[in-house]
Amino acid sequence: MERVSSGGAMTGGARGRRAFLAGGLAGGLAGLSVAGALGPTRLLANTGHATSDVSCIFIWTQGGTSHHDTFDPKPQASDGVRGPLNAISTAVPGVFFTELCGRMARELGRYSLLRSWNPRNAGHGVADHWCMSGRNVNPTLVYPCVGSVVSHQHGFKSALPPFVQLGAHVDRTNNGGMPGVLGLAHGPFEIHADANAEKFSVRDITPPLDMEMARIDRRRTVLARIDRLQRLADRQPTPFDALDEHYKTAFTMITAPETKRAFDIGSEPAALRDDYGRTSFGQRLLLARRLVQSGVRFVTVSDPGWDHHTDCFNGLKGRMPAIDQAIPALLIDLEQQGLLDKTLVVWMTDFGRTPKINPAIGRDHWASAGFVVMAGAGVPGGLVLGETDAEGGLPKTHETFTENVVATIYHKLGLPLDLTVTTADGRPIRLIEGEPVREWI
Amino acid sequence: MDLMFLNRSALLPRAVGMIAVWACLAAGGMAADATLPGIVVHPQRVALDGRFERCQLLVRPVTPDGTEAETIDDLTGVARFSSASPDVATVSDAGVVSAVANGLARIDVSVGDAARTVEVEVSGVAGPARTDFERDILPVLTRAGCNAGVCHASQYGKGGFVLSVMAFDPQVDFHSIAIASRGRRVCPTNPDGSLLLGKASNSIPHGGGTRLAKGSADYALLASWIAAGAPGPSGSPVAVTGLEVEPAKRVAVAGATQQIRVVATYADGRRRDVTGWTRFDAMDEGVLKVSPAGMATTVGKGQGAVMARFGGEATIATFVVPFAAAADLSGWTSPHPLDAVAGKKFAEIGLTPSGLCDDATFLRRAFLDAVGGLPTADEARAFHASTAPDKRERLVDELLGLTGDPARDRYVDRYAAWWSLKWADLIRNNSAVLGESGMWALHNWLRESFRMNKPFDRFVTELITAKGSIFASGPANYFRIANNPSDLAESTAQLFLGTRLQCAKCHHHPYERLSQDDYYGFAAFFSRVASKNSAEFGIFGGETIVVVNPSGEVSHPRSGAVMKPTPLEGEPVENAEDRRIALAGWLTTPDNAWFARNVVNRYVAYLLGRGLVEPIDDIRSTNPPSNPAMMDLLVAEFRGSSFDVRRLMRFVMTSRLYQLDSQPTAGNAADERFYSHYRVKRLGAESLLDGIDEATGVRTKYPSLPLGTRAIELPDAAAANTNPFLVTFGKPKRASVCECERTPDENLAQALHTLNGDIVATKVADGSGRVAKLVAAGTPVAACVEELYLATLSRPPSALEAADAAEIVAAAPSPTEGLQDLLWALINSKHFLFVR
């Protein structure tokens, strides 16, 4: 559907799974009986172009996590701004967080913090789209989120889909986290099940109704037999070829040991699971690491409940500990697994919140200041960029926009900053504009 | 009729043979000289009025009388050009004549021994150069790509230099070039030192590379304008009123070249060769490519176009590269008029169509296309048992409710549900926007409209002139879904004209002649419609009433002028009572070609899998139908039936073209546009879920609707967000009026969902489902297998399939498990998942 180019020169067709599977995989479903015939290396070899080896774990706290009450406290501000939370010192002298970020404060050496993000937006929905794509909402065309661009450009690395979203907490009103012009095939593979649940299983990947593998194998044989009899000739309509490819990939995914392994969160040492925290968020983050390890290129980890218009401080006391526990655990774990250099970890949220505490003891949407956390893939740890004014209302130095943050993600993931796609109606679309954040490069 | 096809196709080998001879020439095979009877150069006389004027020459062979013009080869690329008077006019190797000084000149053109001369008259060169910002300078920048949307016409420009998209706003462009940044982009005392030229020629490092080579004619043109003090826009430019390309159509083999020449007509009647400032784009890169200078090369088989753009106008040159030298149409003897125009296209494009599909395939295809669902096992049995020779036509009439016998018109409700779903998607009926009551009111109006087969002009008129309570008047909700003149203009144009106006909101449409004037003139039809809330009015309270105000205007965003309500490319029309009545009158008048074309194109796409124009709601002069004659025929049919959609569908569905097999042949497998074989399409989300319900005998229960309600009957878009099956298969969320919201592509998540998902697995294994009932009734395995085939694929199994199924069931741990596995596999098979 779309052509892709970089630097103005057209370079061939879409690099979908279909495009690179088409190479050596003709012949219908007959080959299905050999489990795992499509090894991961085979898939990669067929891409015929170099791909970046950096994966991304993108954390999204939906609703707008208050920057005042986490990473940008203003202890000197008036009561109506400061709030009741105490400031604590961090691993970096002179930098203070609130008491809700104890572990993040101790582990600041492992990540970089941007305190001068200017989201230029105070709307939910718009935020999800903007932060995940680097583009403001445009009524006439939907820009793809980074995960979809990765899927489109880099394709599969293993039997697992290249782009996975954990949790349902992305606002889709403005196509946040969606593939837009790149087409549904590049949308996230969504897993809504609670990774912290006793019996965690993944819809459509884990066999239904506790079906045994033997029966799945039998069914696959039955399908291959029926398909062979339906086939009138070697040549078949093109969409049938596409279905064959999807079926092969699907069966590989269902039966590949790496799939089972990726989702077998129970096989992690209990101590490590405890370190991430036995919370939905903590286990989701651990699952994200397992997915990245198994070949997923981009994992969105979503977490709900951050729109604290009322009772902000109790709300944050409820939500923040899981995050404060899990993100440092992830960074430590990635380092110990030797994955940190090849894994970019980003934490973004809708926007900041109002300096003034409202009469309902809440903070409302704030369009011009907020924070971003970034780590791994060469991002220097312990680096705190920018500062806001005395009330945390406006960036004072190093003002950085959403497109700069997203351009940094593009850069780290090996996506050209001048990447251009042509829509079905022939309109050339440059996906991202804006320079990466220099200090993170 | 057959004879006519033969005549037409008999021409092709001759033309192709001729091309082969000239291709030898092109390759330097001068031995072929003797066969070249002579050459023709066009234009034969050239008049250049102005220092920077140019003219492209075209060279072709003298051909025997009767050769069709469009098959004639182009020799421009191999001809030799020389000027006998280079002090007056020069000529390039590519055949471009440039003015040098006033006077008369002779250009010699030769190909081998064949030679011709062209006379050139140059005037207007003496004295100071007369360069006009709008006429001369902006086209250079447009051609060089400076003001493309990805370069300086992007939102913030590039490097602080901002231009308007394709130069639609000369004032902005002039300010950026000559005034902004303290005028440092132009330097009249030293034009070569101007930033504009330094960047464009890349002598100062330029992110966009070299756009204008130093020493080129266009570089000199810009330098001359700068040296003259960079004069600004006159404010009253002579507008370009039309573009002509030569040739407008070319039939050739792959690998042929064709220089394109472009002539612009101005409002003062002047004609000017603008080839050198035209932007050329290949519209179908699989068929052809085109150089910036307008030299097209055919690269693959099929039909494609070169789009030529200059001065806000756009036109195309069509290229046809036949798939084969001749099509075998010996079996193509249908008396149906649609088949006649299809046959002519097959002959021209060299495609031999596939054979007719069998009855079982037709049955399933007709059901799914007409009423959006599968026949029951019993209906399938009855159809197969019938020996009536016209049983396909009878089935079409029954499905469309056109038998005239109420007892046989039993699918009217399913038809109404299916087409209400289609149009509710496009009109965007959604309780999240309209509330439950508004959503139901619109739904009921749609159902009623399709149940009674309301003529389409009346359907549209009722919709776009609706007013009153959104609870009582279904169509009034249209004005709540889009609720301002801009959105209403865009939706209405896209839905009922097939025209995408959106581009023209902010700038001149890049591929169309549509300007902001057109956009805001069209939006003015909706400037007086409004809604008001009433707490007291209506039994539900809090009701919204759509009203027409006595005043309200739309003004042009740049000039501020109040726009008169104006149809696209038409004259203003007014209606004192309600401007929308004037709009409806214009829309549905029988000579509004757009209206019928749009409906025809949509229904062709729904039935044949692809519109004559694609994307199907992007009809414009630069996006022509794949078969214009077929479009004209269907438009005439549709108008002739007073906009009766069911008759339009019957016309298509009873053609041989619609009944072709989907199995491609070696010769037509590459065809994706000309309907040489039926285009398979995946069942839509709703039809697929209904089909699975039907096949398994287990109905899906939808929230707050009675059990037994089909997915195609869902009135609202809510299930597109909540029902996992419908979400996965892409039920439209009704956020856009674009047909593209329903994506036809199959994807991995869908494959996983039917192969390994719990919805299909649970239904197959259901204790009161089809398999369980068959087994409980003690049905013999062979009969069970037949029943499962009929319930899924609408046909009995072949002997091989029956034997294979018996084996499968026998090998399973139990007959129940075996039959479940069989049903599961049938549901996951291509013959179930696709309309084919």
Q: Where would I find the H helices in A2-125?
A: 17-21, 40-45, 79-82, 102-106
Within 8 A of B748 by CB-CB distance, chain A residues are 17, 161, 185, 189, 246, 249-250, 253
Query: Which pair of structure tokens corresponds to residue B107?
Result: 């250009």
Instruction: Give B623-635 as a 3 state SS string.
Output: ECCCCHHHHHHHH
Q: Any idea where the domains of chain A sit in the sequence? A: 3-440
Q: Where does a domain end: B270, B288, B321? A: B321
Q: For residue B77, what pLDDT is reported?
A: 94
**In whole angstroms, what is the distance from residue B335 CA to residue B760 CA?**
45
Who's near A238: CB < 8 A, 6+ residues apart? none
* Residues 641-670 in B contacting A (C-alpha not used; CB under 8 Å): 662-666, 669
In terms of domains, do B55 and B78 share one?
yes
Within 8 A of B680 by CB-CB distance, chain A residues are 237, 239-240
Q: Where does a domain end: B123, B142, B161? A: B123
The reply to whether omega before A436 is within 30° of 0 (cis) is no
Quote the minimal CA–CA distance from A302 to chain B in Å.
18
Selecting from B150, B745, B761 the residue whose C-beta is nearest the C-beta of A430 gives: B150
* Residue closest to B506 by CA, chosen among B495, B520, B525: B520
* Residue closest to A225 by CA, chosen among B497, B468, B654, B808: B808
User: Residue B342: which H helix or E strand, with range?
Assistant: helix B337-349
Q: Which among A173, A191, A243 is the top mutation candidate for probing chain B, defined by the most B β-carbons within 10 Å of its own β-carbon?
A: A243
Query: Which pair of structure tokens corresponds to residue B710?
Result: 């089909």
What count of other Cβ atoms lies within 10 Å of the Cβ of residue B691? 24
In terms of domains, do B467 and B576 share one?
yes
Q: Is residue B96 part of a domain?
A: yes
The DSSP letter of residue B353 is P
**In whole angstroms, what is the distance from residue B542 CA to residue B535 CA?**
4
Quote the minimal CA–CA distance from A254 to chain B in Å.
8
Q: Is the pTM of this model over 0.95?
A: no
Quote the minimal CA–CA distance from A202 to chain B in Å.
10
Residue B516's Cβ-side half-sphere holds a number of Cα atoms within 13 Å equal to 16
Which pLDDT tens digits describe chain A residue by residue (441 residues)? 334 444 333 333 333 333 333 333 333 443 333 333 322 222 222 232 334 799 999 999 999 999 999 999 999 999 999 999 999 999 999 999 999 999 999 999 999 999 999 999 999 989 999 999 999 988 668 899 999 999 999 998 988 989 999 998 998 878 899 998 887 778 898 888 899 998 888 888 888 878 888 898 999 999 999 999 998 777 888 788 888 888 988 988 888 888 888 999 999 999 999 999 999 999 999 999 999 999 999 999 999 999 999 999 999 999 999 999 999 999 999 999 999 999 999 999 999 999 999 999 999 999 999 999 999 999 999 999 999 999 999 999 999 999 999 999 999 999 999 999 877 556 678 899 889 999 999
Q: Which among A17, A152, A210, A223 is the top mutation candidate for probing chain B, defined by the most B β-carbons within 10 Å of its own β-carbon?
A: A223
**In whole angstroms, what is the distance from residue A226 CA to residue B798 CA?**
11
B209 touches chain A (CB under 8 A): yes
**In whole angstroms, what is the distance from residue B353 CA to residue B333 CA?**
12
**In whole angstroms, what is the distance from residue B653 CA to residue B664 CA?**
20
**In whole angstroms, what is the distance from residue B529 CA to residue B580 CA?**
9
Who's near B231: CB < 8 A, 6+ residues apart? B131, B133, B225
**In whole angstroms, what is the distance from residue B400 CA to residue B412 CA?**
7
Give the rounded distance of the alpha carbon of B340 from its chain centre: 23
**In whole angstroms, what is the distance from residue B701 CA to residue B729 CA?**
18
Sole residue written with tokens 């009772």: A311
In terms of domains, do B116 and B138 share one?
no
Buried b (16+ CB within 10 A) or exposed e, A260-284: eebbebeebeeeebebbbebbbbbb
In terms of domains, do B462 and B534 share one?
yes
Within 8 A of B149 by CB-CB distance, chain A residues are 427-428
B756 touches chain A (CB under 8 A): yes
B196 touches chain A (CB under 8 A): no
What count of other Cβ atoms lies within 10 Å of the Cβ of residue B161? 17
**In whole angstroms, what is the distance from residue B636 CA to residue B324 CA?**
31
Q: Where does a domain end: B98, B123, B148? A: B123
How many domains are there within chain B?
5
Selecting from A10, A229, A235 the residue whose C-beta is nearest the C-beta of B804 gives: A229
Q: Residue B280: what residue type?
A: F
CATH no. of A3-440: 3.40.720
What residues in chain B have per-residue pLDDT under 50?
A: 1-34
Selecting from A184, A189, A230 the residue whose C-beta is nearest the C-beta of B745 gives: A184
Q: Is residue B491 part of a domain?
A: yes
Where residue B307 sits, what CATH number does that domain have?
A: 2.60.40.1080
Using the beta-carbon criterion (under 8 Å), do A205 and B155 form an inter-chain contact? no
CB B303 within 8 A of CB B284: yes
Q: Is residue B423 part of a domain?
A: no
Selecting from A207, A232, A426 the residue whose C-beta is nearest the C-beta of B663 gives: A232
* Residues 483-512 in B contacting A (C-alpha not used; CB under 8 Å): 500, 502-503, 510-511
What count of other Cβ atoms lies within 10 Å of the Cβ of residue B406? 9
How many Cβ contacts (< 8 angstroms) between chains A and B? 153
Sheet-wide strand order for B271-273 = B240-246, B261-266, B271-273
Q: Tell me whether strands A3-6 and A419-422 are parallel, antiparallel or unpaired.
A: antiparallel
Who's near B355: CB < 8 A, 6+ residues apart? B331, B660, B661
CB B354 within 8 A of CB B660: yes
Within 8 A of B758 by CB-CB distance, chain A residues are 203, 208-209
**In whole angstroms, what is the distance from residue B29 CA to residue B33 CA?**
8
Quote the minimal CA–CA distance from A431 to chain B in Å.
10
Who's near B417: CB < 8 A, 6+ residues apart? B371, B372, B447, B710, B712, B713
Sole residue written with tokens 């309270």: B541
**In whole angstroms, what is the distance from residue B660 CA to residue B668 CA?**
12
SS3 (DSSP) at B179: helix
Q: Is residue B518 part of a domain?
A: yes
Radius of gyration of chain B (CA): 32
Q: Please spell the DSSP secondary structure of B388-400, one letter per residue.
A: -TTHHHHHHHHHH
Strand stretches in B164-256, DSSP E? 240-246, 249-251
In terms of domains, do B108 and B189 share one?
no
Q: Please spell the DSSP secondary structure of A180-214, one letter per residue.
A: GGG-GGGSPEEE-S-TTSTT---TTTSPGGG--HH
In terms of domains, do B93 and B142 share one?
no
User: What sign results for the dihedral spanned by CA atoms B18, B24, B26, B32?
Assistant: negative
**In whole angstroms, what is the distance from residue A279 CA to residue A304 CA?**
13
* Residue closest to B513 by CA, chosen among B314, B317, B269: B314
CB B329 within 8 A of CB B347: yes
**In whole angstroms, what is the distance from residue A368 CA to residue A384 CA?**
18
**In whole angstroms, what is the distance from residue A68 CA to residue A74 CA?**
7
Sheet-wide strand order for A3-6 = A9-10, A3-6, A419-422, A428-430
Q: For residue A424, what pLDDT is reported?
A: 59
Using the beta-carbon criterion (under 8 Å), do B677 and A233 form an inter-chain contact? no
In terms of domains, do B94 and B173 share one?
no
End-to-end C-alpha distance for chain B, whole angstroms: 29
Q: Please spell the DSSP secondary structure of B549-589, one letter per residue.
A: -S----B-TTT-PBPPP--TTS-----SS-HHHHHHHHHHS
**In whole angstroms, what is the distance from residue A293 CA to residue B578 CA?**
64
Q: Tell me whether strands A112-118 and A400-401 are parallel, antiparallel or unpaired.
A: parallel
Q: Which among B795, B830, B834 is the top mutation candidate for probing chain A, defined by the most A β-carbons within 10 Å of its own β-carbon?
A: B830
Q: Is residue B464 part of a domain?
A: yes
Q: Is residue B685 part of a domain?
A: no
* Residue closest to B166 by CA, chosen among B186, B183, B149: B149
Q: What ipTM, to 2 d.p.? A: 0.80
Using the beta-carbon criterion (under 8 Å), do B155 and A183 form an inter-chain contact? no
Q: For residue B538, what pLDDT is reported?
A: 56
Q: For residue A211, what pLDDT is reported?
A: 86
User: Residue B805: which H helix or E strand, with range?
Assistant: helix B799-811
**In whole angstroms, what is the distance from residue B116 CA to residue B111 CA?**
9
In terms of domains, do B220 and B107 share one?
no
The packing angle between helices B781-793 and B799-811, to 10°, is 120
Q: Is residue B796 part of a domain?
A: yes
Using the beta-carbon criterion (under 8 Å), do A424 and B511 form an inter-chain contact? no
Quote the minimal CA–CA distance from B24 to chain A in Å.
31
Closest-CA residue of chain A to B667: A235
Q: Write the pLDDT tens digit of every residue in A299-337.
A: 999 999 999 999 999 999 999 999 999 999 999 999 999
SS3 (DSSP) at B64: coil
Q: Residue B204: what residue type?
A: I
Who's near B600: CB < 8 A, 6+ residues apart? B612, B631, B634, B635, B638, B648
Selecting from A208, A232, A246 the residue whose C-beta is nearest the C-beta of B748 gives: A246
Within 8 A of B283 by CB-CB distance, chain A residues are 426
Degrees (nearest 5) of the Cα angle B779, B784, B788?
Answer: 150
In terms of domains, do B79 and B99 share one?
yes
In terms of domains, do B87 and B159 share one?
no
CB B401 within 8 A of CB B411: yes
In terms of domains, do B525 and B544 share one?
yes
Q: Is residue B118 part of a domain?
A: yes
SS3 (DSSP) at B31: helix
Q: For residue A28, what pLDDT is reported?
A: 40
Within 8 A of B285 by CB-CB distance, chain A residues are 3, 10
Segments forming the whole domain that contains residue B817: 758-835
* Residue closest to B703 by CA, chosen among B724, B725, B719: B719
Q: Which among B316, B365, B746, B792 is the top mutation candidate for probing chain A, defined by the most A β-carbons within 10 Å of its own β-carbon?
A: B746
SS3 (DSSP) at A366: strand
Query: Which pair of structure tokens corresponds to residue A167?
Result: 């949790």
